[in-house]
Structure 1
């Protein structure tokens, strides 16, 4: 191949190219370069734990040309000691914070999230080192056309290959088993289940496995067709979000409900707004966010600032009223006592009245002395 290339270069009177090709031919014929490669690789071959070190430092988020170290709060070059094999998939370049771009970005995001914006930014910034701020997961709730998908797509763009979408049935399987979809989340920073339909796929109600991960437990997973001895160890290193149009079914598992935070998307974008929560639809919004390189990089810098704020607060975040209310609503919708009560009784106003005859009922009671049952009239409330 080199001989033919040299001949072609000479035909074109390109002596410089011919000289370069000859030099490479000499290098390839010299075992010195091969020996150098062997010695380089042998250093890593001797490191039996290299598979557990690759991309395993949760403090580092890598780009093609640099990385961000959240402990040092600095961008720096990638070194061999960082054991980086996966990056976000794009170069960060020389971009610096822009106050003008920041203001535009916050206006766009605030127009979607409203009063929950700061809380949203703080919690999502934990993706830069999620192992230090685990335990919670986030359910984005709101009817269609409210911007959930737009923001999720934007964050996927920001994190690039360090983010991924997970299938709704991700946690339907036993964790310590064949679960290739879960294996794909290893060493990721941002994970979401988009457009989940809770009544259909039961996503939220089967999150016991996620709770185990959020507790910081290390689990063993394997790919399809992998042998048991080839199981891979992983811990959650990501912020986890579930996007729902309706109130999800989360069941009564206390562990799930304690870790669940519901972020409301309060607005609906329509052609002709008539209600207070409706806003004019902007068909260019998605492209304006996702098609702007400055917004992407400014968002990452904003998240680094929010992460440092989070760390300064010792990873505690004040939950705004909007999030507390939305979370409480989901908890109440999953309260079996409330479900039973609403199915059996009609809730009336404080001024409602009932005939005196309906205030008496016959019931069975258990007498404490004998345990025998008796039937009697029980006055439930005094007639007025």
Structure 2
């Protein structure tokens, strides 16, 4: 009887291969040459084993990554807490406690004002960045030219004006805050004098003087920081006030450019207007700020007018202006006078477009034989 030996051999081979799937692959080195990772459940001890071995179960757990500590950033002018100390029971000790409480109340106000100042600075910075971003978009469009009175640019200009007024409001709030800080600076100076004079009181013990020394140091530090905050506020107010004034003039100039569809530029003609104004003798004693000669159809006078009026307003913020139309005597006098008046009204509209209140401008007209064409003279009053 012949037995088929190949069948058991094949069956055992299958069993051998199948058994390989039950072998923990982590016990075999990987083919990459790196050490095999160990399984946590194979090496972790049970709670009873840990207790028997004296191993702390909480310490054996894998340490979690520590959460980053979230602490509020200390402001530049934030004061630390006032040092506490036990009462000595003496009369001087009671005086020290009163002075310490006064310092705590004062520092609380200084810290609050400091936080408000930091908030205002952050708000002004964000608004200023947004303002300059909008102005850059307007200027980029005006640089390549656009349609006159482009409504998109007008909308952007209104946004920029709103941002600038918001900065001006921040400056106003800084003024109010500076007044409060100035009061705190005066109070901390008086408190420092009170602490120093407490050293001369009788009935003190050594602990009283030790506490007074600490209190004096902390009051001095409060005085330095309060005055530093006041100085920073004053500098920011002056800088932001000048900044807002300059940018308001830039907004006015940009408004004119949007109205004309592009920047006017300072041309040679503009310089001639200003130079001629110094030599004006057509109307007698007064010297004109700007002379505009309407000797052609389209006279680009706006930039010269804006430059001259802006400079005059910087020198005399409360100045008023006279616009005088001068008609030549040659030719048709009635027609010349009518045209000259229309030119003066056009100049008045330009000034009001620049933001000049109409109540600060006076219109008048005259004729003169020394002029060859219709002219408009602008005077400072």
- TM-score for the superposition, normalised by structure 2: 0.20
Larger Rg: 2
More helix by share: 2
More strand by share: 1
- TM-score for the superposition, normalised by structure 1: 0.20
